[in-house]
Amino acid sequence: MNAVRNRLARDLEAGVTADEAEKFLTGSLKAMSEAKIEGARVANPNSDPIDVLEGFAEYASAMLNAPTSAHHRAFNQALQELSKVA
């Protein structure tokens, strides 16, 4: 995800490739959607690759903001530890 984000941020003409979209469609986003995790939304495989990326970003942000998820607790712990260093 970071590699895609970095490339898009540096080149306004860049886009999400079909291969990158496929990785999002077949990875953890698909597994979470199948498990019916709230916030997980898988784009149609025929969708524009940027739509697939947006679906993944929505899912990731939902996982980081869901107060009962382990992802949220880990994210908050990391932020607290970083604030102690700064």
Does some domain include residue 49?
Answer: yes
Tens-digit pLDDT profile for residues 7-22: 888 988 888 888 888 8
* Contact by Cβ (8 Å): 3, 17: no
Instruction: Establish if 26 belongs to a structural domain.
Output: yes
- What's this model's pTM, rounded to 2 decimal places? 0.53
Q: Identify the domain containing residue 60 by its residue range.
A: 18-85
pLDDT value, residue 34: 65
Number of domains in the chain: 1
CA angle 80, 85, 86 (to 5 degrees): 95
* 61 belongs to a structural domain: yes
Q: Residue range 50-54: average pLDDT? A: 80
Q: Is residue 7 a part of any domain in this protein?
A: no
64: CB partners within 8 A, 6+ apart: 71, 72, 75
In a domain, 11, yes or no: no
Banded pLDDT at 29 (limits 50, 70, 90):
low
